[in-house]
Amino acid sequence: MSDTTAPLCLLFDSDGTLVDSEPLLARAMAETFPDFGLPFTPEQYMEEFRGVRFLDIVLELEQRFGVLDDARRDVMEDRLRDNMAARMKAELTPVPGIPEALAALSGHPKAVASNGPLAKIRLAMATSGLAPHFGDNLYSAYELQVWKPDPGLYLAAAEGMGAEPENCVVIDDAAVGVEAGLKAGMQVIHINHFPDEERTPEGAIGITHASELVTAIERLSLERRGHQRGVAATE
C-alpha cells in the first residue's frame, strides 16, 4: 500500500498552466510558419493545437499545405525557438493566481512536466519568477522522448519524485495533458480557461481559475485520508 500520510505530489504542466505563454507561442508560430509555406494564425493555435508538440503541429500543417524537407523544417524550428525565447524574456508572466497558489501549497512536493524542451521550461520558470517552487524538478518530453497524451511523461515525473501515481495530482490546462494524467492513474485537475468551449473530461476535476487550486488540492487530500481510515477500519 502506498504512503497516504505523505503530502500529495503535484505535477504541473507549464504552458497555459503555470505561465501565460500560449498567446506568445501562438503569435510566434503565426509569424514564423507562413514564411515556410505553412499558413497559420494565432487563433488556429489556440483553437486547434494547444498543448500539442511542435512536430505534430508541423506534420499536420504539411499534410494540408505541402511537405518541408528536414533541413528547411530545422531552420523553421530554430527561428521559432529564437522568436519565442525573445518573447518570453520580454513578455512572459505567470498565469493569474498561480504565484499565490504555489505559495499556499508550499508543503507539497512539486514538479513541472511539459511537452516543451527543457531549455524552454527553465526559461519560463526563471522569467516568471516561479523557479524557486520547483528547483530542478523539471521533466521535458524532449529529454524523455515521450509526449502527452502518452502517460509516460507524468509517470516518469512521478518516479523521479519518488511518488506513486495514486499519490500524484496532475494540474494541466490542455486536453492532451488531462488525458495523459488520467491514463497515468493520477488525480487530475483541469484548469479550464475556456469553459464555454471546452468540457472537462470525465474523471478530472474542473476549475476555471488558479485561485480555486488550493481548495481542490485540500479536498483531494481530505478524501485520501478518509479513504485510508476506511481501509484501516476494515482490516
Q: Please write the tens of the pLDDT for every residue from 174-195.
A: 999 999 999 999 999 999 999 9
Q: How far apart are CA 191 and CA 145, in angstroms?
A: 25
Please give the model's pTM, rounded to 2 decimal places: 0.88
Q: How far apart are CA 235 and CA 223, in angstroms?
A: 19
Assess if residue 4 is contained within a domain: no
Structural domain containing residue 208: 9-20+93-234
| pLDDT value at 228 more than 90 | no
Q: Which residues pair with 15 in a beta bridge?
A: 19
Assess if residue 2 is contained within a domain: no
Q: Which of the listed residues 91, 113, 140 is the one where a domain comes to its end? A: 91
51 vs 54, higher pLDDT: 54
Assess if residue 3 is contained within a domain: no
- Asked if 63 and 179 sit in the same domain, the reply is no
Residue 39, domain CATH? 1.10.150
